[in-house]
Each structure stands twice: as C-alpha cells, then as structure tokens.
Amino acid sequence: MGAGGTARVAEERAAEVDLVLQVESLALDLPSEAFFIDAVARAAGAFRERVELTLRVVDEAEGRALNRRFRERDYATNVLSFPADGIAEIAPELLGDIVLCAPVVVAEAAAQGKRAAAHWAHLTVHGVLHLLGFDHEDEAAAAIMEEHERAILAGMGIADPYRV
C-alpha cells in the first residue's frame, strides 16, 4: 500500500477526508472533529487524494479491552490501528479504523511535557500512517515512519515528537 519501502517524505498537501468520528469517552477538552480531519488529511495527503476512515476516541476500559483482544496485551494503549485490508477493489478510499484512548493520550502528553493537542495530532498521524502500511517493526521501517511523522507534524506547526 503506502509504505512500499520508500523513504520519500510526506509532501505538504491534504487529502479529501470522509471521517466518521465516534467519541465514547467522558474526557473533557477533546480535540474537535475539524482538528482530527485536518490531521488525517495532512497525514494521508502525500499518499492518497481521498480517504475514508473511522476514528474512535475511547476511555481506558474499552482501550484495554481492544488491546487485549487484538494484540493480546492487557493494558490500554494510546493508539490502535485496524487497516481495511483486502477490500481495495470495492472500497479503494477506505483505510480502516483508528482508536485513540483519551486518558492514555492525555497522561502521556503530561508526562512528556507536551501540549495535549500536539500529542493528539501525533497519534492521529501515527495511526493514519499505520493504515497506509507503514510500521515500526524494525529500525529501518521506524526511521521511515518517524521521518514522515516529523514532516507532517512540522507542517502543522508541531515540534518533533521524538526529541526529548
């Protein structure tokens, strides 16, 4: 799909986005739908002209249950991505689903001394790149994915999320 082994950095253009936003969290101060659409559009823009996906914001119990069921890890994680594999011929724009766990995202941002909005943007971009076929399973793949993340986030005015 999108990864293709290329080290090409994401270009500064936006995809047209059809986003289904599901908020199943009681967290306050969540980003707006427009915020998520912008992050998705920028992340996908270098690779696709148009994308469709569902982004679900959950609380810790659902995040933990999904991580346990699909990754066999019994804790809530910040982002999960579920690519819509095998349906490109009937739904070429459909990327899949992203799940963001609100309490984890907010806690990580605080622990890392980052603005919460910057962390929400980073994890949304990260999730979209996973849906496009990028991963961080080995050092080379991680370097490519992180290079894309840095470029996309810089275009949003967000500092390098990997700088400590």
- 4 lies in a domain? no
**CATH code of 124's domain:** 3.40.390.30
pLDDT value at position 10?
53
- 162 lies in a domain? no
Contact 96, 83 (CB under 8 A): yes
For residues 103 and 53, what is the distance between their CA atoms, to the nearest angstrom?
A: 22
Q: Is the pLDDT of residue 142 over 90?
A: yes
- 161 lies in a domain? no
- 135 lies in a domain? yes
- 32 lies in a domain? yes
- 76 lies in a domain? yes
Contact 33, 19 (CB under 8 A): yes
- 11 lies in a domain? no
Mean pLDDT of 131-146: 96
Q: Residue 59 — left, alpha, or beta (φ > 0 → left; ψ -120 to 50 → alpha)?
A: beta
- 9 lies in a domain? no
Residue 62: burial class (beta carbons within 10 Å; 0-12, 13-18, 19+)? middle
pLDDT value at position 9?
54
For residues 19 and 30, what is the distance between their CA atoms, to the nearest angstrom?
A: 16
Q: Is the pLDDT of residue 11 over 70?
A: no
Range of the domain at 23: 16-155
Q: Please write the tens of the pLDDT for every residue from 144-163.
A: 999 999 999 999 999 999 98
pLDDT value at position 65?
98
Contact 149, 122 (CB under 8 A): yes
What is the tally of structural domains in the chain? 1
Confidence of residue 46 (pLDDT cuts 50, 70, 90): confident
Q: Please write the tens of the pLDDT for every residue from 59-111.
A: 999 999 999 999 999 999 999 999 999 898 899 999 999 999 999 999 999 99
